Structure 1
Amino acid sequence: MLTGKQKRYLRSMAHSLQPIFQVGKGGTNEHMITQISEALERRELIKVSVLNNNLDDLKEIAEELAKGARAELVQLIGRTIILYKESREYKEIELP
């Protein structure tokens, strides 16, 4: 579980990142969650964009992705989800 200070730090780091995944009208699936989990192992911090044609609840999508990838939901802002997961092999981010 991340503290408020850690979330603030991760949000500042994520500000300059571009979304590397998009959730379309098909929603999330097991393949997408696997891909996100692999990307998190490599990068630790990623952004996921939810397209306008997806009518599902954004909070549910964010929680489903975080739970499926065993990651922490840092922030849901607009239609952008920020996820963090500490990497075992490629650790770069030192949390305060």
Structure 2
Amino acid sequence: MTGKERAKLKSIAQNLKATFQIGKEGISAEFINQIDDYLEKNEIVKIRVLNNSSEDVKEAQAFLMEELNSEFVQQIGSIFVIYRESLKRPRLLQDEK
């Protein structure tokens, strides 16, 4: 991902609310499946790691990026944003290519 593409995704993410939250239950297979479906539809997702979670923000981010084959966009505090181009309907970065 180029710097220009990352900047565009950051500007999109700025207006998003955290769609998913990682709490005391941690990251389950069902949670990963839900994010996978969401990424296929929307290409970008903002995730918050709650204070009561046993997960570290950077570890959760790295784990999800690997499991979902996604790319890091940004992290601010306990919130991070990941991106994965949709296989069926790519749209967010189409004009950048």
Q: Considering the TM-score relative to the shorter chain, is it more than 0.5? A: yes
In 2: Cα distance, 1:88 partner to 1:70 partner: 12
In 2: Cα distance, 1:14 partner to 1:55 partner: 25
Answer 1 or 2: higher relative contact order, Cα 8 Å, separation at least 6. 1
Q: Which 5+ residue runs of structure 2 have no aligned equivalent?
A: none
In 1: Cα distance, 2:17 partner to 2:62 partner: 20
In 2: Cα distance, 1:60 partner to 1:3 partner: 24
Give CA deviations for 1:7-29 in whole Å, capped at 9, x if unaligned: 11100111001111110012112
The one-letter code matched in structure 2 to 1:29 is S
Alpha-carbon contact 2:74-2:80 (below 8 Å) kept:
yes
Q: Which residue of 2 aligns with 1:41?
A: 40
In 2: Cα distance, 1:41 partner to 1:18 partner: 18
In 1: Cα distance, 2:93 partner to 2:64 partner: 23
Q: Which residue of 2 aligns with 1:57?
A: 56
Describe the SS at the equivalent of 1:18. Answer: coil
Q: Percent identity at matched positions?
A: 37
Count of residues in Structure 1 that have an aligned counterpart in Structure 2: 95
Q: Which residue of 2 aligns with 1:30?
A: 29
Describe the SS at the equivalent of 2:64. Answer: helix
Q: Which residue of 2 aligns with 1:9?
A: 8
In 1: Cα distance, 2:39 partner to 2:89 partner: 10
**Structure 1 residue ranges, 4+ long, deviating more than 3 angstroms after superposition:** none
Kindly indicate which of the two structures has a greater share of residues assigned to helix: 2
Give CA deviations for 1:37-68 in whole Å, capped at 9, x if unaligned: 11000000111111111143210000111111
**Structure 2 length-normalised TM:** 0.89
